[in-house]
Amino acid sequence: MREFTNPPVTSAPPVGGLADVVFEHALSDPTHIALGRKDAAGQWRDVSAAEFRDEVLALAKGLLARGVRFGDRVAIMSRTRYEWTLFDFALWSIGAQVVPVYPTSSAEQCFWMLYDAEVSAAIVEHEDHAMTIATVIDRLPQLRQLWQLDSGCVQELYDAGAHLDDELVHRHRQAVTPDSVATIIYTSGTTGRPKGCVLSHANFMFEADTMIGRWQPVFHTKKDDAASTLLFLPLAHVFGRMVEVAAIRGKVRFGHQPQLHAAALLPDLAAFKPTFILAVPYIFEKVFNAARRKAEKEGRSGPFEKAVDIAVKYAEAVEARAWGIGPGPSAGLRMQHQLFDKLVYAKVRAAMGGRIRNAMSGGSGMDRKLGLFFAGAGVQIYEGYGLTESTAAATANPPERTRYGTVGQAIPGMTVHIADDGEIWLHGGNVFQGYLNNPKATDETLHEGWLATGDLGSLDEDGYLTITGRKKEILVTSGGKSVSPGVLEERVRDHPLVNQCIVVGNDRPYIAALVTLDQEAVEHWLQMRNKPRLTPVELVRDPDLETEVRRAVVAANTLVSQAESIRTFRILAQPFTEEHGLLTPSLKLKRKAIEKVYDAEVEALYHT
C-alpha cells in the first residue's frame, strides 16, 4: 500500500481559540477538577475549572497591564510545571503567541530563538535561566520584559492587572480565530540552526479533539474512575504541549512533574495515581529494566522471565483474536496470566501509580516485545508517530486493533502517503503553517499542503506504518551499500546494559558502532556477579561486559543482511549528553557532532 486515508471524527471549529474551553468549562461545570498542583508542603491539591479560569483571567489582565498585546510573541523557558500551563492559556486568551524554550538551552540557542521570533517578553523559571538570557540581552533590543517564576512573577502580574475590567480580556479572546498563530516551536534540530514551526490554534484543536474522540479508552472518564494523567514530558516539546491541550479540552485532571529521574517521578506517580501516561519508549524501558533488576536482587529472576514470557504470549493471543487470526488466550494461558498478575504485573502497575491502564508512546520506535509485555501486564501502550510540524501524532495504533511493532494508522482526518523514494508524506488538519522567516525551508517541506517528513517508512496492507529510517541518516558504505542505522541502533539498545548506540560507516568499507552503557544497569550487573566496582575505563575493557554487548550486536545483525551488519564496535566510557552538545533536548543523537567528538574512536574501528 502506498497511501492510507482515515476519515475524520471531528470537524474544524469555525471560530475561537484554545483558551475558550477554559471559560466554557468553568461556566458549564465550575466544580470539575481540572488540574492537580503541589502546594508549598509538596502535597497535591485539586484545582477546579472555576479556579483555573479565575487564575487564567487574572494573569491575562496582568499581561495586558504590562504591555503584552495581541500578536506579540512571548517566550517561556522552564521545566514542566503548573505555571507553564497557566501562562499558555493566559497568553492565548489575549491572542499572544507562545515561544517555548527548552530549560537546558545554551545562551546562543536562546539568543537565536528570541531573536528570530522577535520575542518582546520572556518568562523564565529561575535565576540561572535569567542569567542565561542576560548574557545575550544586549543583542535582543526587542526584548522589553523578563519575568521569573521563582521570584513571584505570577502574583506580581495578578496585582498589576487587578484594576482592569474582565471584558478587556474577553474582547481580545473573541478576536482569536482558529487560523491565529498559537505557538512557534523551534525544532531541536540534529543539524544546523533550529527552525521555528508555526502552529495555529486550529492545528492543536484538530490534534487534541481527534485524539480525545478516537482514543476513548485513554481519555474517557468512567463513573467513580476519573481519567487523569501526570505530565512529565517537557512542555517545550510538541508532544507535551499536545497532552496539556488535550487534557484541558478533554476534562482530564492532570498534574505536572518537572523531574524525569526515578527518585522524583515514582513518588509522584504513587501520589497522583494517573489512569494513563504519555511518554517516550525510554521511560517504559526504564520501568521494565527496574522491575527486572529488582527481581534479580530478590533471587526471583527465573519467575520474572517466565512472567515476561506469559505476558508476551497473552498479548500476542489477544492481538491475534483482534485480527481474526486466532481464538485468543487459551484456558491454560489465562490461568498462568492470572497467577503472574498477582505476583508480577500488579507490582509493575503499582510502580506507575496503581491505577494506570493505558499509555501513549512516541518520539522514537518501541520494541514490539516491550509493547506486548506491558499490554500483557495490563497497561495498553498505543504507539504513534509524529513531528513538531504535524502538531505531535500523525499516526497511532487504534484501541481495538493494535499492531505491535508499528506506529499505527493515520489518525482520523489524516492521509499518509509513501513517496517513490520511501519518504513519508502527511496531509491533514494538524500540518503546520510553515517555518518562521524561512520560506526556503518551508518550500522544501510543504508541497500544496503535504508535509514531506524526511522519514522513511512503509505501509502494510491495512495501512499500518512502520518507520524504517531517516532520509538524511542513510549511510552509504564505500562498497555502495545503503544502510538505515535506526533499526540496528534500536535493537542494540534493547539490551539492558546499553544506554545508547550510534552506527557509523558512511564512505567506509563496513558498518561499525559506538555504544554507551546504562550506569544503573551496569552497577546492578556487577553486584549480581560479585565483581568489584570498576572505573569507567576499566569497565569498557572488562571482557565479560564486552561479551554482553556483543550479544546485543549479534541480535541486531539478525535483522539485516551481512553487508548491512555491524562488524565491530567500541564501548565508550561516557554517555552522549545534551550538555556536551551530542543529544537534542528530545534525546535524539546529533550524529555529526558525535562523530566529530569521537573521531579517534571511529577511526580506530577501521584500523584494528
Specify the DSSP element, H or E, that contains 483: strand 482-483
Q: How far apart are CA 89 and CA 25, in angstroms?
A: 13
For the beta carbon of residue 267, count every other beta carbon within 10 angstroms.
12
One domain for residues 266 and 139: yes
Provide the pLDDT for residue 586: 74
One domain for residues 458 and 563: no
Provide the pLDDT for residue 559: 87
For the beta carbon of residue 401, count every other beta carbon within 10 angstroms.
14
Beta-carbon contacts of 443 under 8 Å, excluding residues fewer than 6 positions away, are none
Q: Which of 415, 449, 470 is the last residue of a domain?
A: 470
Q: Which three cell numbers stand for residue 46?
A: 485539586
One domain for residues 119 and 36: yes
The owner of cell 474544524 is 12
The owner of cell 495586558 is 64
Provide the pLDDT for residue 240: 94
Pairing relation of β-strands 465-470 and 450-459? antiparallel
Provide the pLDDT for residue 584: 83
Provide the pLDDT for residue 50: 98
One domain for residues 496 and 414: no
Counted domains in the chain:
3
Provide the pLDDT for residue 189: 56
**Within a domain: 192:** no
One domain for residues 507 and 540: yes
One domain for residues 443 and 375: yes
Q: Which three cell numbers stand for residue 438?
A: 524561512
CB 261, CB 299: distance < 8 Å: no
**Within a domain: 566:** yes
Range of the domain at 420: 278-470
**Within a domain: 434:** yes
One domain for residues 245 and 373: no
β partners of residue 186: 196
**Within a domain: 305:** yes
Provide the pLDDT for residue 606: 92
Provide the pLDDT for residue 220: 84
Q: Which of 422, 448, 470 is the last residue of a domain?
A: 470
Provide the pLDDT for residue 188: 66
- Would you call 226 exposed, middle or buried from its count of C-beta atoms within 10 A (0-12, 13-18, 19+)? middle
Pairing relation of β-strands 423-427 and 450-459? antiparallel
Specify the DSSP element, H or E, that contains 482: strand 482-483
Helices 201-214, 238-249: axis angle to 10 degrees equals 70
**Within a domain: 497:** yes
Q: How far apart are CA 303 and CA 306, in angstroms?
A: 5
β partners of residue 97: 73
One domain for residues 95 and 241: yes
Burial 249-259 (b: 16+ CB within 10 A, else e): bbbbbbbbbbe
Beta-carbon contacts of 302 under 8 Å, excluding residues fewer than 6 positions away, are none
CB 395, CB 314: distance < 8 Å: no
Q: How far apart are CA 197 and CA 588, in angstroms?
A: 18
Below-50 pLDDT ranges, the chain? none
One domain for residues 459 and 516: no
CATH code (residue 113): 3.40.50.12780
Q: How far apart are CA 608 and CA 606, in angstroms?
A: 6
One domain for residues 353 and 426: yes
Provide the pLDDT for residue 566: 96
> Residue 298 — φ and ψ, nearest 5°?
-85, 5
The owner of cell 553486584 is 527
**Within a domain: 207:** no
Q: How far apart are CA 409 and CA 402, in angstroms?
A: 10
CATH code (residue 559): 3.30.300.30
For residue 73, give the 3-state DSSP assignment: strand
> Residue 391 — φ and ψ, nearest 5°?
50, 45
